[in-house]
Every structure is written in C-alpha cells, then in structure tokens.
Amino acid sequence: MTHREKPQFDVLIVGSGGAGLSLALRLADHYTVGVLAKFALTECSTFYAQGGISAVLDDRHDSVESHVEDTLVAGAGLCNPDVVRLTAGKARENIEWLRQQGVHFTEFKDAEGHSQLHLNREGGHSHRRIVHSDDATGKAVALSLIERAQAHGNISLLENHNMVELITTDKLGHADKRICGAYVLDIATGNVKSIAAKIIVLATGGANKVYLYSTNPHISTGDGIALAWRAGCRVANMEFMQFHPTCLYHPSARSFLISEAVRGEGGRLILPNGERFMHRYDERMELAPRDIVARAIDNEIKTHGFDCVYLDISHKSREFIRQHFPTIYSQCLELDIDISQQPIPVVPAAHYTCGGVMTDINARTDIPGLYAIGEVACTGLHGANRMASNSLLECLVFAEQAHLDIVRQFDKLPPPPTLPQWDESQVTDSDEEVVIAHNWDELRRFMWDYVGIVRTSKRLERAMNRLLLLKDEITEYYGQFRITSDLLELRNLVIVAELIIRSAQQRKESRGLHFIKDYPEPCTDNPPQNTILIPERAGIAPTRV
C-alpha cells in the first residue's frame, strides 16, 4: 500500500487497470479514493493489452458514424446504439486526456513534416483508427496512470488486497439497500478487514481464467461479476466469451497474445502447408471480426487434427516488422521464431468477457452506490462480439461517465454505517489445500472442452452437471476454512462458470460469439434479446458476514 492506511474512503475502487485508475484520477481532486489491486498494480489486463484504442482522428477519411456502424455490425444486433454513439463520440477527448496524463502514442511525420498520430487498422474496422504505442499500448497507459496515481495525495493504492464480499445496508438490518463497504483480504497478512465507503466501483476486469487457455493475466477470475451477483445485481450476456484468434502456440510461452494489428498490417493466416484458408469463411478474410476468425481457426485445427495454424507477416521487411511490432518480434525471437523469416504458430484462447454486471449509461448497477466499469460491466457497447480495440476505449469513457454521476450523487448519499468485523470464529486453517488446485483445474478443463468456441446442448448439459457438484464442494469448503486468495478466486470462478453455462443454455440460436451446433443460425423471428440473469430467480450463493 502507498500513502496512508484508512478504514474508510469516499470512493473505493476495486481494480488497478485502465478503468479503475482513470476514474481514481478524475475523482481524487475532490474525494478520498482507495484503489484495491489483487496483486501488483501492473497485474491487470490493461498492462498486457497490445493493439491500441479505437478513436476517429482522421476526419478526412473516417467518421464517428462509421465507427458506430462497424461496432454495431460486429455486435450482431445486440449493441445498444445509444451507448455505441456515446462511446465513439467521446473517443477523441479521451485520447487527449490520456496524452495529458503522460501517455505517449506512436507518431509519424506527414508530407509537410508535421507529427501525426499513427493509426492502425484491425479486424472489423473499415478504416485506420487505432491509436497505439507501438505494440504495447496497454503498458504505456498503465504505467502513466500508475505514476500519476502514486503522486496524488488523495489516492491510496492497496496492493495485494483481494475483495471478499460487498457489504450492503440491508445485511446490517437497515430497511433500505445501498452499498456501504466491503470485506477485503490483506493477502500479505492473511487478515480480513472491513473498509467503509459511500461509493464502491467494480473495475475488476473479466473472467477468462475460467478457461484452460487464456490470453489474460491470472487476476481475470470474474471477481467483480461474482461479487455483484452475490450482492443481488443482474448479470447479462455471459454466453458471449470472446476467444482471441491468435495466441502464440509454444510450450515455453505463457499465453502470449499476437496482436490483431499483425493481421491489420497484412498478416496472413495459413495452414502448415502454407495454404491460406480465411477466404472459405468470410470475404473480409483475416480482417473479419474475431468470432469468425476464431471459429475458422478452431474448425481447421479440429478438422485436420493440427496442433495450430500459422500467422505469416514475413512478406513484410524486417525493418517494418521491428518498427510496428517490437514486442512481438523480440518475444518470438527469444523462442527461436524469427517472424521476419517464418510464420508464427497460433491458436485461439479465451480473451474477453463481453457480458457482465448490468449497468446503465452512467455505469450504475442495480444497487445504489455500486458502479461497474470496464470489462466487468455489460454496458451494451459490445453486444454479441466486441470489436477490436473498443475495450480500452470503453474503460476510459465509462470511467468518465461514472465520475460525472458520482459527483452528482455523492452528497445525496448518507455516510456509511459502522461495519462489523469479519467473523472467523467458526472456521479453521485448511489441511487440504490441494482440493483447491484440483477443483480449479477440473473447472477450467471442462469449461474449455464443453463451453468453448463451439458448443452443443449436450456439452452444456454435461458441463452443468459437473459444475453443480463442484459448486457444492467449494461452498462446503468455503464455510469450513479460513479464506485464502486462491479460495476466493475459485469461489468466484465457479459462480461465473455457472452464469456462462446458464446463459448459453438460454440462447437457442447462434449469434456472435455464441455458436451452438443445435441452433447454427441466428433467430430472425423477433428482434434479438439480451440474456439477463436475475439472482432472486436463480438462488444466490450464501454469504458469510
């Protein structure tokens, strides 16, 4: 933790990625802000994001309306048009805000010798509109925001703190229901502390570690989604889990992502014999949206029994590749893959959670005082499939939306009541932590096998049967032993897995990221609907308070 230790903040933000820190910086001039980071501040999805941020900056060749239309097409009928227009319309000002925070984006000299931002093109986009910092945009954003936050006297950064449970006033005997604080595990000491706050903002990222193979860091265990669900918030569209088409396939690589921008700059997907195949799936070929490309690769691998396919950018010069993709070039070179001379072995991997905690256009959830921003939220921007580089943009825009609404609402909310301390009187230290590792592994394996890129009703049924057994075992374990960070993550993951399966079972069609062989076509009888799960109708896991 930096700065002072406080049992109470005006605003408590859970998550230290682009969404959480940009909101903290916007609020900190007027409020005390606590930011929880499960591990190190840099261990967040933002830090590992390569591609960039979509924003219309070339008014001669591009337009906000074109950005809107591309997003709506990628979202396969389930985007909220008002949210899409708001987000695309605020892109330029948020890029400028980032530059004011010290983020340096890649530039080039135009014909007149003036510096201009270099814009990439990625899948689903009809124009070049991806602002980037080489091929490590997220790292540039994260480090700049962390530096600003560390220097601000009103921001307390609590590293190695994992959220255990949200506290609402109704659980404390009050007639109303609003957020008032949280129980938080200090991982370094093993102690659980109660932290009071008028406002709590979930910025915890996605849930992609529910799958065996993922491009995400280890923090992406669906914590915010599970926390909000247990507190009574609706969750939507969890069947739409995005698999990035091109994750490096190598036994020594830790889920290293090969950026969408490689395909945007001419990278070709090929089979082991050098044959291109995307023309058989979509006329946009390598620039088709991610769901189409991921399914195409998955089909080629399964049909032919390949371990992987290949992404070839070697027809470009070494100078071009090193200039545009320095991180990817050097990482692959360490594994004896010279991408200027040979293709990159790639497979799909779980990458982004398009669904999440339902919010309105101001980032509010169903509980007064509780907000959700970034990947944890379902804002209506992504619909059935997120378009490339709209994710960091969403973090920025909805941090701004939350900031504006918190300013409007803050003085209307009463101060939080005194919070009870965490009760550990009925639990003991575990003598069988191997159970956690075994359950974690089993959960991620059957989710990959049965609830992955291509689904069937039978596979979903099998997954649910296994999940319910695991859920009972984990719930029993949680009630008997002192909590650890691993146990908290497992408890959250099993809830998220159930939400994904239940959502997938409810959608009797294939749409966007949800492809099910029993219903291979999208339903055209009625306008498409969001899949909304309500805790009161599904039963909420018991909460220890």
Q: Hey, which residues are catalytic here?
A: 290
Q: Do residues 396 and 142 lie in contact, with contact meaning Cβ atoms separated by under 8 Å?
A: no
Give the integer Cα–Cα distance in Å for 205 and 100.
24
Helical residues (DSSP H) of 41-150, grouped into ranges: 45-48, 64-74, 81-89, 91-100, 137-150
**What SS3 class is residue 347?**
strand
| Residues 282, 264: Cα–Cα separation, whole Å | 15
> Cα 204 to chain center, whole Å?
8
Provide the Cα torsion 56, 58, 63, 66; round to 10°.
-70
> Tokens 């055209």 identify what position?
524
Contact 190, 229 (CB under 8 A): no
Please give the Cα distance from 53 to 44 (Å, whole number).
17
Paired sense of beta strands 235-236 and 356-358, if any: antiparallel
417: Cβ–Cβ under 8 A, 6 or more apart, which residues? 169, 172, 174, 180, 196
In 335-420, where does DSSP find H-type helix?
A: 391-409
Distance CA 379, CA 75 (A): 12
Determine the Cα–Cα distance for residues 38 and 329; give it in Å rounded to an integer. Answer: 30
Name, in order, each residue with C-beta under 8 angstroms of 54's C-beta and a sequence gap of 6 or more.
Answer: 67, 91, 122, 125, 129, 130, 131, 387, 388, 389, 390, 393
- Distance separating alpha carbons of residues 381 and 242, to the nearest angstrom: 14
